[in-house]
A and B are shown apart, each in its own frame.
Chain A
Amino acid sequence: MISQFFVLSQRGDNIVFRDYRGEVPKGSAEIFFRKVKFWKEDGEGDAPPVFNVDGVNYFHVKVAGLLFVATTRVNVSPSLVLELLQRIARVIKDYLGILNEDSLRKNFVLVYELLDEVIDFGYVKTTSTEVLKSYIFNEPIVVDAARVPSLGAAGIFMQGSKRRMPGTAVTKSVVANEPGGRKREEIFVDIIEKISVTFSSSGYILTSEIDGTIQMKSYLSGNPEIRLALNDDLSIGRGGSSIYDYGNSSGSGSVILDDCNFHESVHLDNFDIDRTLALVPPDGEFPVMNYRMTQEFRTPFRINALIEEVGPLKAEVILKVCAEFTSSITANTILVQMPLPTYTTRVTFELEPGAVGNTTDFKEANKRLEWGLKKIVGGSEHTLRAKLTFSQESHGNIVKESGPVSMTFTIPMYNCSRLQVKYLHIAKKSKTDNPYRWVRYVTQANSYVARL
Chain B
Amino acid sequence: MFPQFGATAETLSKASSMVFRIGTDAHLYDDPEDVNIAPLLDSKFDSEKCEALKRLLALIAQGFDVSNFFPQVVKNVATQSLELKKLVYLYLLHYAEKRPNEALLSINCFQKDLGDPNALVRACALRAMAGIRLHVISSLVLVAVGKCARDPSVYVRKSAANALPKLYDLRLEEHTSAIEEIVGILLNDQSPGVVGAAAAAFASICPSNFSLIERNYRRLCEILPDVEEWGQIILIGILLRFVIARHGLVEESIMFSLHSTKSGKSEKDGEASKISNKEDTGYASGNDDFGLGANVSGNIDLEFSNMVSRCYIEGPDEYLSRLSYANTGPSELNVAQFTSGKTAGVHWIMAPRENVKKIVKPLLFLLRSSNAAKYVVLCNIQVFAKAMPSLFAPHFEDFFICSSDSYQIKTLKLEILSSIVTESTISFVFKEFQDYIRDPDRRFAADTVAAIGLCSQRLPDTATTCLEGLLALTRQEFLSSDFGSVDGEAGVLIQAIMSIQSIIKQDPPSHEKVIIQLIRSLDSVKVPAARAIIIWMVGEYSSLGETIPRTLSTVLKYLAWHFTSEALETKLQILNSIVKVLLCAEGQDIQSFKRVLNYVLELAECDLNYDVRDRARFLRKILSSNLDSQGLEEETNILSPNKDLAYVLSGHIFGGQTKSSSPEPINYRFYLPGSLSQIVLHAAPGYEPLPKPCSLLQDDNLDQGTNGLERARNSDSFNTDETDSLSGSLDEEGASDYGSEHSISGSNVSGGSNETGSASEGDDNTDPLIQISDVGHAFENQHGVSHSGSADLGELISKRALESWLDDQPNSSNTSTSEQSQVRISTARISIGDIRHQVKSKSYTLLDPANGNGLKVDYSFSSEVSTISPHLVSVEVFFKNCSSETMSDILLEDEESNKDSNSADQTLVATDSFLTSHNNVPILVPMEEITYLEPGQTAKRIIQVRFHHHLLPLKLALSYNGNNLPVKLRPDIGYFVKPLPMNIEAFTDKESRLPGMFEYVRSSTFTDHIGELNKDKGDNLVVKDNFLVICQCLALKMLGNANLFLVSVDMPVSTNLDDASGLRLRFSSEILSNSIPCLITITVEGKCNDPLQVSVKVNCEETVFGLNLLNRVVNFLAESSLSPL
- Which residues in A have some Cβ–Cβ distance to B below 8 Å? 1, 14, 16-17, 21-22, 43-46, 48-52, 55, 57, 60-61, 72-80, 82-84, 86, 105-110, 112-113, 116, 120-121, 123-127, 130-131, 133-139, 141, 177, 196, 198, 207, 211, 236-237, 242-244, 246, 259-266, 268, 271, 286-287, 289-290, 292, 339, 342-343, 366-368, 392, 395, 400-401, 403-404, 406, 446-449, 451
Contacts and interface: CB of A to CB of B under 8 A. Distances in A.
A289 B371 CA distance: 19
A75 B57 contact: no
B57 A109 contact: yes
Interface stretch (B258-266, B398-406, B1008-1016, B1116-1124): B398-406
A61 B405 CA distance: 15
Interface string B384-408: 0000000000000100101111111
A366 to B, nearest CB: 6
Contacts of B342: 77, 79-80
Contact of B338 (A83, A110, A120, A286): A83
Contacts of A78: 376, 675-676, 679
B9 A237 contact: no
19 contacts: A52-B680, A57-B676, A60-B372, A75-B683, A75-B686, A77-B676, A79-B337, A80-B230, A80-B342, A82-B372, A83-B337, A108-B58, A109-B54, A123-B165, A126-B230, A135-B5, A207-B397, A244-B272, A292-B365
Given A106-B29, A137-B9, A259-B327, 11 more contacts: A74-B684, A75-B685, A86-B372, A109-B57, A113-B86, A116-B90, A136-B9, A243-B270, A262-B331, A292-B365, A400-B438
Nearest to B200: A123
Nearest to A111: B61
Given A49-B376, A78-B676, A125 B197 contact: yes
B9 A262 contact: no
Nearest to A26: B63
Given A112-B90, A125-B197, A266 B9 contact: no
A342 B486 contact: yes
Contacts of A80: 230, 233, 338, 342
Interface in B682-712: 682-688
B715 interface: no
A271 B330 contact: yes
Contact of A451 (B233, B326, B435, B486): B435
B330 A446 contact: no
A383 to B, nearest CB: 22
Contacts of B5: 134-135
A261 B334 contact: yes
B677 A77 contact: no
Contacts of B435: 404, 451
B61 A243 contact: no
Interface residues of B, number: 101
B26 A141 contact: yes
Given A244-B329, A367-B440, A130 B373 contact: no
Contacts, number: 261
A236 to B, nearest CB: 6
Contacts of B325: 261
B83 interface: yes
Contact of A137 (B2, B13, B329): B13
Contacts of B368: 211, 290, 292
Interface in B334-378: 334-335, 337-338, 341-342, 361, 365, 368, 370-373, 375-377
A105 B31 CA distance: 12
B928 to A, nearest CB: 53
A196 B397 CA distance: 12
Main secondary structure of the interface of B (DSSP, over half): helix
A45 B440 CA distance: 14
Contact of A243 (B90, B272, B686): B272
Nearest to A123: B200
Contacts of A17: 61, 63
Contact of A447 (B28, B63, B402, B677): B402
B259 to A, nearest CB: 20
Nearest to B681: A52
A16 B61 contact: yes
A105 B29 contact: yes
A449 to B, nearest CB: 5
A259 B439 CA distance: 31
B20 A139 contact: yes
A75 B677 contact: yes
B49 interface: no
B500 to A, nearest CB: 21
A46 B406 contact: yes
Contact of B680 (A50, A116, A246, A404): A50
A287 B334 contact: yes
Which of B20, B90, B97 has the most CB atoms of chain A within a 10 A radius of its CB?
A: B90
Interface in B244-270: 270
A403 B63 CA distance: 49
B53 to A, nearest CB: 9
B1 interface: yes
